[in-house]
Structure 1
Amino acid sequence: MKNTLIVLLFCLLSTAAKADNFKKVQAVAKLKNKDFCIQLPVEIIDNKYVLPAVRIKGSKKMYRFLLDTGCQSGCISTEIYKELGLSAFFSDSISDGISKKAADFSFIDLSFNGLSFEKVGVSVHTKKELNSAVSCSQIDGVIGYNLMRACVWSFDHNELTVTDDVDHLNNIGQKQKEKISNGTIPLIVGAFVDGFGATMLFDLGDNGTFEVRNSMLKYLRKKELTKGKGSLYSTVIGEIQDTAALKLVKTPGFRFQNDTLKNAITYVGTSSVCSIGAGILNYYNLTFDFPKRNLYVKPILQDFDETKFINFGFKYRIDNGEVVCQFVWANTEAERSNLKPGDQILRINQLDLSDTSRYDKCQLKSIIEQELSGEEITLSVSGQEKAIVLPKKSLFSCSY
């Protein structure tokens, strides 16, 4: 299920001075290299792309940074900020569309795999905030769109190549007529079958595939809708709990450029923009020539993978060592069994979760996922004497 979103939508600015500060932080980073084509070592974790060996000027360490086109500037941890003795260029509020938080903004020089970038604008967050939405990735920062705009990025069968000239690349698919937007976030064109077309944010920080804003739901004329209760996903600001975000829609298909992905499933959210997440890279090889604003598309699959929407009707989270129900889908056995968000899960099958102190968070998640790999599970939940037996079923019944 969708569980990651690190898109930082900066607040509307009330003064010219604030606007100028944000403009400087979001400006394209200065690329020091020319005539290069490098395949980057990456870790792909739940659709998210993490660079494992990023260096920052002033430190001898190597850091892990998430690629996120939905983030207008980069992000670094407070640990890095303090270690380098950085000072704030300015401070202001950022928002995920629901909540706001204060943040400091600064500049760094960073490098990876021989590529060097200067004057990269970043905001500062605690490591816990950075990792609240990316689970076991254990990142130290985010490479945002202000750096990615300086290069050509080619995503091809889980391989990532970066270059300064698209002519260095072979077999990258068809060049699209529609340009990538010229601004501080990348917008590209997409459309739903029996629905609507829109310019949509391409957001690598979101591990889902599609999200539409709630006001557009009525324009999806042919659809199957399911709802739920709880917190569906998290950002560095916090968990998204607004009821408008708790919908999931199956559509006949999604037209991405000149190709159609059949039976596409989309989330319905409260964001001000419709978005395409990193999950799209399971279906298309994409090359983004950000400097020239060109997009190249090569289809991989024609049918949407519904596997992750065949589940036990709930989502969990690990909170201070406790395994807690985070979200429950409507019309499932989980809902009928009176499982509710906030309930502590004490046991899954024979796996005792009442004391998880012997595991770290990532080990715990791994063994829980093993228990959830079967076709039926038995839960013991705090406050309920009777065990809950849940079958694995699809959240949707129709097929277009």
Structure 2
Amino acid sequence: MRNKTIIYLLTGILLVLTTACSVKWDKAISYGSLASTNINENVEIEIQNKLIIVPVRLEGKTYRFLFDTGAPFSISQQIQDDLECKLISKGNIKDSDHNRKAVNWVQVDSISIGGATFLNQTAFVGDFQANPLLACMEIDGIVGSNLMRHCKWTIDQEKNMLSLFSSIDATDDTDSISIPFRSDAQYNIYIDVNIGQAKVKNILVDYGSNGSVALSNEIFSTLKERKIISDPFIEKGSKQSGIIGEAVDLYREITYSDSVRFHQQGLNDVMIRTGKTVSLGNGLLSRFRISIDWENQKLHLLKLENTERKDAFLGFRLGYSEEKGIYVQSVIEGSNAYKSGIRPNMKVLKIDQLNFEKGDDFCDYFRHKSGRDIYMQTINSEGERMDYRFAKTPLKD
């Protein structure tokens, strides 16, 4: 089973854009077109840590891009150095951890996904090495919402397939349900979701997050007070999920619910947590084959079989910094890791067969598949080496 310590890898890479040039970002982001209005393409995708990686072509070379409805189109600094795309504007981005950074906006003359070619697309130049998690994924950019709006898409993670269409008719299914969505100046997608007897409005559909459902503290507290969701687990420490890569303090509540619904389509064992962005991540979206109809502003959802399961958790997440090395970023109180004595900021020397003092690195851990039983060696706050053994278990019994 995939290591669950990085389940919150990304939670909406981009949230807010501001501009510092004569061309405003909301105008620049609307540039571009399709080379052909008649497309019907199927592209094989890779699912890595519950995130979608899409092969794209630029100037005859294939790159790995993250598929992310919660962010604009982006290229790496390396691609910009190679292609020298025309500078359109300068501005700032604000990532999911609310860190800010100045970026350049450039015009990408041509980018192809399968046989579909997108022309004159606006992209920000991102640093995908700043966050260790993104660096380990080896992505070169983001297929973002301003590029997606030019056609219709079907995401079928059961078949590892992404389809691009001129007409949504090619993806119609009588068993699917349709949900209207709204979009903003960044072309983000927002829908309403029922949780118990409550309706949560304007939830971001965010394929750039591998979480499930994220709610604000206020909404989460209201659902608790109305006994729609049960008493939560608490995760404390720090997190490092945004594109800018700076770690921020973390206090998060986590629970599970059997009352999340799209219209009458009910879902079981849905993880709900607090976060700075109210969103649906790919931990939930992957339960459906989803078609995005930009022209009519509708999502068509077909529930996939055998997608409801109780994941086993390590109960902690590891991070990396040059100062600390590999360390425990956060721990979920009540988990086996917490009960065994694992705490935030412990320096990690070993985990399972990986030995970070003898050449293994953070990316080795990122790709590591743990078994049910975990072995860790850390250095505690007193400088002592400590050994721990514990089992992964679901947070929900």
Q: What TM-score, normalized by structure 2, do the two folds share?
A: 0.86
Q: Does 1:298 align with 2:302?
A: yes
8 Å CA contact retained: 1:260, 1:302: no
Task: String of CA shifts for 1:129-183, please: whole Å, max 9, x gaps.
Answer: 3x64446431111111001011111122232211110122353743525344465
Tell me, yes or no, if the aligned pair for 1:64 and 1:141 is still in contact at 8 Å: yes
Query: How far is 1:85 from its partner?
Result: 2.0
Tell me, yes or no, if the aligned pair for 2:171 and 2:291 is still in contact at 8 Å.
no
> Helix, strand or coil for the counterpart of 2:122?
strand
2:318: which partner in 1? 316
Aligned to 1:288: 292
Spell out the pairing of 1:32-51 with structure 2 (5 A cutoff). 32-51=35-54
Question: Which residue in the other structure is 1:391 paired with?
Answer: 391
**Cα-to-partner distance string for 1:330-364 (whole Å, 9 max, x where unaligned):** 123433444222222212345433222xx565444
Counterpart amino acid of residue 295 in structure 1: L
1:335 corresponds in structure 2 to 338
Report whether the alignment pairs 1:263 with 2:269.
yes
- Sort the Cα spacing of 1:51 and 1:228 in 2 relative to 1 into closer, same or farther, 3 A: same
CA 1:172–1:237: 2 relative to 1, 3 Å: farther
Gaps of 5+ in 2: 1-6
- Alpha-carbon spacing, 1:226–1:127, altered in 2? closer, same or farther (3 Å): same
- Letter aligned with residue 93 of structure 2: I
Task: Verify: 1:96 aligned to 2:95, yes or no.
Answer: yes
| Alpha-carbon spacing, 1:362–1:258, altered in 2? closer, same or farther (3 Å) | same
Name the residue aligned to 1:275. Answer: 279
What is the rounded CA distance, in whole Å, between the counterparts of 2:263 and 2:301 in structure 1? 8
State the distance in 2 between where 1:313 and 1:112 align: 38
Post-superposition offset of 1:239: 4.5
SS in 2 for 1:234: coil
Instruction: Give identity over the alignment, percent.
Output: 24
> Match for residue 84 of structure 1?
83
1:118 is the counterpart of 2:119: yes
Kindly indicate whether residue 99 of structure 2 is the aligned counterpart of residue 62 of structure 1: no
Contact 1:172-1:286 within 8 A present in 2 as well:
no
CA pair 301-198 structure 1, distance change in 2 beyond 3 A:
farther
Q: 1:182 to 1:133 in 2, by over 3 A?
A: same
**SS in structure 1 opposite 2:24?**
helix
Change (3 A) 1:126 1:233: closer
Aligned partner letter, 1:247: E
Q: Which runs of 5+ in 1 are unaligned?
A: none
Structure 2 matches for 1:84-163, cutoff 5 A? 84-96=83-95, 98-108=98-108, 109-129=110-130, 132-134=132-134, 136-156=136-156, 157=158, 158-163=160-165
- 1:29 pairs with 2:26: no
Higher strand share: 2
Does the 8 Å CA contact 1:28/1:147 hold for their aligned counterparts?
A: no
Instruction: Tell me by how many angstroms 1:75 deviates.
Output: 0.9
Task: Name which of 374, 378, 389 aligns with 1:381.
Answer: 378
Q: Select which of 347, 351, 365 maps to 1:348.
A: 351
1:33 is paired with a residue of what secondary structure?
coil
Partner of residue 74, structure 1? 73
The structure-2 alpha-carbon separation of the partners of 1:348 and 1:7, relative to structure 1 and needing over 3 Å to count, comes to closer
Counterpart amino acid of residue 243 in structure 1: L
Question: Given the superposition, is the C-alpha separation of residues 150 and 257 from structure 1 closer, same or farther in structure 2, using an over 3 Å criterion?
Answer: farther
- 1:243 is aligned, of 240, 250, 254, to 250
1:43, distance to aligned residue in structure 2 (A): 1.3
| CA deviation profile, 1:180-238 (whole Å, cap 9, x unmatched) | 44652111221212544222111111111211111211221332301122234511122
The structure 2 residue matched to 1:191, chosen from 190, 194, 210, is: 194
Between stretches 183-192 and 203-212, larger displacement belongs to 183-192
Hey, what does 2:171 align to over in structure 1?
169
Offset of 1:127 from its aligned partner? 3.2
Output the CA distance in 1 between the equivalents of 2:127 and 2:184: 31
SS of equivalent to 1:211? strand
CA distance in 2, matches of 1:266, 1:304: 14
The separation in 2 between residues aligned to 1:112 and 1:276, in whole angstroms, is: 25
Moved more, 110-119 or 164-173: 164-173
Q: Say which SS state the counterpart of residue 127 (structure 1) adopts.
A: coil
Tell me if 1:7 matches 2:6.
no
Q: Deviations over 1:244-287 (max 9, x none)?
A: 5x22122232112330102321121022xx11112223321111
Amino acid corresponding to residue 346 of structure 2 in structure 1: D
Paired residue secondary structure (2:79): helix
